[in-house]
Amino acid sequence: MLDPRLIRNDPDRLAEGVAAKGYEVEVDALVALDVERRRLIAATDELKQQRNSASKQIAELKRADQDASEAIAATRILSDQIKELDDGLSQLQERLDKEMCVLPNLPDPNAPVGASPEENLVVETWGEPPVFDYPLLDHIELATNLGLVDFEAARRIAGTGFSLFTGDGARLVRGLINFMLEHHTGLNGYREVWPPVLVRRECMVGTGQLPKLEDDMYLVEKEDLFLIPTAEVPVTNIHRETILREADLPIAYAAYSVCFRREAGAHGADTRGLIRVHQFDKVELVRFCSPETSEAEHRLMLEHARGILERLGLHFRVVELCTGDLSFAAQRCWDLELWAPASKRWLEVSSCSNFGDFQARRSDIRYRRSSDGKVAYVHTLNASGVAVPRLVVALLESNQTDEGSVIVPEPLRPYMGGTSLLSSLRHG
């Protein structure tokens, strides 16, 4: 949630920032609500002061054994007026909170200005695209031929948009998850957690998925619990409604989880295979830090996420999202995109986002400064470290041989029982 002081102190910045993300806001209406809220607060405070004075007068009259009935009657009238104002203030505050809840985070001043993904900036390209002198198979053909994924069985079980990894495919997924977790905890100092995959509504509001993206979420209606779209949600909410110590910052978590997204707008070729699915595995990185270290922490997380792709030797690029392509909650974001040579496209496998204090305000996550003991909101950041399905797509397509086998990258071989090659011979 945005700092409410923006409404009265800098409404032009609020309007410009929201517009840069492609949203519209009636700033004048918000200003009017805030003005009325402050008027009601002032009026209520004035009446409460009058009631306190009247209460003192009543006490003095009683001590003097004088009639206090008129003063008591006046106090009751004041109490009724205060209750009426409090009720009005409560309703107005609820309305203002709802209006603020649908406002996106403002872009960082350093984020490139643009209206669509076409205006994103390619910051860096790492490695060279693999070169082949033979016809390529796409990941669906490779996974099917090698017995790694049974797409038809998955369709019978759950419908389109789901996958059933089998044999070496299941082992590859498990190996990738273990490899990534051990990399981030062992080399990058993250603390591993294994969070719930069901969360309360207020947790989804806290990280910014609700109310905007509710149609893309899976809801268990009876309990009003949501299946998580990413481990970012439960991990960020570990510290909701708490005050951290500055000495404990930064706090860094790595979490594996299954993720669920309805992908309500998905259609076409992407619904085949592993590129766009409803359920997938992912390792997520989440950090909590002070505002002063936020930018440096953001760049550090990018290095941590890309380290996975570098160790696997995959060709990728770093893309900075323009203002119009930033997510609802992010103020700045870099995407990591893998090259899939048979599909001939770049596939996003990680978004490295800085949310500033936006999520912290919505979730009430604060820290106590060591210097003066005052309380302030932390900054939250997250990055995929990384998502599995598209990683598998790029890995299979980039490491295929002319015989239709797939070379296993060296860092994954210990998790594959020493296997260096996935071939059809291994499946009879």
Query: Is 202 one of the catalytic residues?
Result: no
Distance, in Å, from the CA atom of 266 to the CA atom of 263, rounded to the nearest integer, reads 5
Query: Is 351 one of the catalytic residues?
Result: yes
Q: What percent of the chain has pLDDT over 70?
A: 97
pLDDT of residue 195: 98
pLDDT of residue 88: 95
Distance, in Å, from the CA atom of 100 to the CA atom of 7, rounded to the nearest integer, reads 10
- Say if residue 269's pLDDT is above 60: no
Q: Which of 261, 287, 306, 361 is the catalytic position?
A: 261
- Say if residue 267's pLDDT is above 60: no
- Say if residue 270's pLDDT is above 90: no
Torsion angle, alpha carbons of 396, 398, 401, 402, to 10: 110
Distance, in Å, from the CA atom of 105 to the CA atom of 98, rounded to the nearest integer, reads 15
Name the CATH superfamily housing domain 5-101.
Answer: Serine-tRNA synthetase, tRNA binding domain (1.10.287.40)
DSSP E strand stretches across 344-394: 345-354, 365-368, 375-377, 379-387
pLDDT tens sequence across 62-75: 999 999 898 899 99
pLDDT of residue 272: 84
| Residues 284, 173 contacting (CB under 8 angstroms) | no
* Average pLDDT for the chain: 95
The two tokens of residue 283 are 């390792």
Confidence of residue 93 (pLDDT cuts 50, 70, 90): very high
Query: Is 348 one of the catalytic residues?
Result: yes
**Residue ranges per structural domain of the chain:** 5-101, 117-427
- Say if residue 317's pLDDT is above 70: yes
Place of tokens 């079980």: 157
Work out the average pLDDT over 354-381: 98
pLDDT tens sequence across 405-419: 999 999 999 999 999
Q: Which of 350, 351, 398, 405 is the catalytic position?
A: 351
What CATH number has the domain spanning 117-427? 3.30.930.10
Q: Which of 37, 51, 171, 276 is the catalytic position?
A: 276
Query: Residue 406: beta bridge partners?
Result: 400, 422
Distance, in Å, from the CA atom of 77 to the CA atom of 363, rounded to the nearest integer, reads 39
- What DSSP string runs through 229-242? SSTHHHHHGGGTTE
Sign of CA dihedral 275, 276, 280, 285: positive
Number of helices and strands in the chain (H, E)? 12, 16
pLDDT tens sequence across 30-47: 999 999 999 999 999 999
4: left (phi over 0), alpha (psi -120 to 50) or beta: alpha
Confidence of residue 259 (pLDDT cuts 50, 70, 90): very high
Of the listed ranges 145-159, 257-271, 335-349, 412-426, the least confidently predicted one is: 257-271
pLDDT tens sequence across 192-245: 999 999 999 999 999 999 999 999 999 999 999 999 999 999 999 999 999 999
Q: Which of 348, 368, 413, 423 is the catalytic position?
A: 348
**What is the edge-to-edge ordering of all strands in the sheet holding 225-227?**
198-200, 225-227, 219-220
Query: Residue 334: beta bridge partners?
Result: 320, 352
pLDDT of residue 242: 98
- Say if residue 266's pLDDT is above 90: no
pLDDT of residue 428: 40
